Structure 1
Amino acid sequence: MDALRTPEGEELRRRVSIAPDTLLRIAHADMLSADADTGRGVSTAHETVAEVTGVCKKTVQRARGLLEALGLAVSIVEGRYLTVAEREAAESVHGGRQIKAASVRALTMPKRWAVENVHLPRRGDLGLKAPDLEVKPTRTSARESAASRPPAKTNGSDRPSLPRSGRPRTIGLQRFAARLVARMRWLADGRHIGQVCAMLERCEVDPDRWTIDAFMDALASGNKRAGFTVAEPAGQRDPVAYLGWQIKNAIDPNEPTPAEEAQLRAIQARAELEARRREREAEEARWASRDQAAIDEAIAAMHEQQRAWERARRHPGGAAE
C-alpha cells in the first residue's frame, strides 16, 4: 500500500488498470504460496491464482507484472512448455497429465521500504482478515522450487517445522491443509500453514485417503461419540494442537476411511455379481450338456431305426429284429 501511494506507484497501477483491492488479493495469494523465511518459491500458475481469487487470468498476469514493476516481486524462472521426457517424468510422479511448468517467482522488499518500515509486523500478525483463498501450487515447478529452498526453521511460533521425512511436503498434503484452513480459519491466525501440515503428519492423516468433507464429518462424528463439546476458537489456546488432539481421539489411521469403505463395498458387490454370473453360466452349461446328450440319444435312435427299415426293405421275408 505504501508503494501504491507514491506517484510512481499510482501511475503504474493506472497504466495496467487494476484496482488496489484486487492487487492485494493476488499479492496475498502469492504470499501464501511463498516460503515463509525467504519469500521464494512462488510457483502458482496464473490460472490457479485466478481461480482462487475470483478474477481472470489476464488480471493475475497484469497484477504480477505490477508487483515486479514496484520491486515487490521478481521472476526467477520463466514458465515454459515441458519436453516429452519431462512430461513423462511428471506423469510418473503425480499420475496426471502436465504439459507446462509455471514460472517461479520470489517476493522481495525494496531497500527504501525496508529501511523506512523498520517495525513491519511479522507475516500473519497484520490484524486483517485474510481473504478466503486456497492456493494450489503448480506441480512440477513447485517441486523444483521446493528442492532449492533452505530448510524451514522451528524457533518461532509462526514458522513451519521441517517435515519428519526431511523431504518437502507433498502438494496433496499442502492442498489438504489449505482446504482445512479454509473451513477453520482460526488455524492460520498468526501461524504458518506448515504448522497445520506438520500436525496432519503427526496424526497420520493421509490426504490421498481422505476428502476434506469426509474428514470433517469423521471428526464431528468422533466428537459426538465421545460426548465432546468443541471449544469456541477464541477459547483455544493453541488451535492447531487442539485440533490434533481431537483427531487423535476421533480418527484411527489404521481403520478404513469412508471412501475406502465405499470402495470395498463396491468391490464386494462386483465380486458377488461376478460369482452369480459364473454360477448362472455354469448352470446353463450343465443344462446345455444334458440337452445335447438327449439330442445325441434321439439322433442315434433315428439312425438305428433307419438301418432297421433298410434291412427290412432288402429282406422282405426276414424276421423282424
Structure 2
Amino acid sequence: MKHLENLVQHTVLVLGDLILDEYLSGRAVRLSREAPVPVLERTRRTLVAGGAANPAVNLARLGAEAWVAGVVGDDQQGRDLLDLLHRAGVHTEAVVRDPSRPTTTKTRIVAEGSFVHGQHLARIDHLDRRPLDHPVETLLVERLHHVAGRVNAIAVSNYRNGVITDGVIAACHAARAQHGVLLCVDSQGGLQRFRGFDVVKCNRAEAESELGAHLPDAPAERLDAVRALRRQCDAHWLVVTLGDEGMVWATPDAAGHVPPARRATVYDVTGAGDTVLALLTLARLAGLAPADACHLANLAAGLVVQVLGNYAPTRDELESLWQAHPTPPV
C-alpha cells in the first residue's frame, strides 16, 4: 500500500465517554513552606479532546469523516470540549447534554523547567461514574440511530464512566442489523459485554483478567490463549496490545504476533489506545489483513507515545512511516 487514501474514504461514529483533558503548566520557582512540594508559577493552560473524543479527532485528522456520540454536562467544560471537536472537523450532533452530571475533566499538573518535556506531577479527575439516567440514555440511543445510517462503522470507546450501558450496546447491535455498520470497541475490560463485535481491542492486563491467567511467554501458547479469548468474546478480530512488545491478534482462521516496527522513545502513553482503535477501525473497513492493520496501528501509536498528552498523527506522518516500514517486521 503506497498511501492511505483507501483507508480514509469512510465515515465512522465514535461512541463513548467524552473527556476534556486539561493541562496546567508552570515553572517551578521554589519549594513550598507548607509541604515538601514545588511551587509552580503558571505559564499556560492547554485543553485537549480526550476519552472517546480523541479517536474521533484522530479519524478527522487522518482525513476520514468523523462523528461522535456521547454525553457532556451543561457546563463550560462541555462547551470547551465541543468547541475542540468542531475545530477538528468532527460532527457533534449526536452529543447529548446532561445537566445532572459534569463533563468528565482530567486536570494534569505539569512542571516545566530544564526538561525536554514537562514533568507530570499530579492529575485531578472531575467525573460522575453513574450509569446514564434512563431519559438521557434514551436520547443518546435515538441520536445514535439517527446517525447510524450515515456511517460505515461505530467505534465504541469505553472509559467506564457510565455512558456505555447495556442499552447503548444493544442499540449498536440494532444499528448493525438495520444498516450493516461495522462494530469495533476498545473495551477497557468486560469483553463479554461486547460479544459479537467485529473488532475487539484490549490490552494485556484486560486480556489476562478475562482469561484468569497470565498470557504465556511462549509464542505458540500465547497465540493459543488469544484464540481462546477470541472465541469467548465471539469477535471476528481480537487484538491485544502488548506495549513495547507490539500486538497479538486472532480471527476465526488465524492468529499472529506483530512486533513494533521501530523502537520509539516512550514519553507519555496517553491516547495511544485511542489511536489504535481509530486505525484498526479504518483498516478493517478498508479490508486490510489483520497483520497489516496491527502494523499500521503500531506505527501510529509509536508517534503518539513521543508526545505529552493526546496526539493525533497526520496523514502525511503516517504515510511517511508506512513508506519507511511497509511490511510488518518478522
For the criterion TM > 0.5, the same-fold answer is: no
Higher strand share goes to which structure?
2
Q: TM-score, normalised by structure 1?
A: 0.26
Higher helix share goes to which structure?
1
Q: TM-score, normalised by structure 2?
A: 0.25
Pick the structure with greater CA Rg: 1
- Say which structure, 1 or 2, has more relative contact order (CA 8 Å, 6+ apart): 2
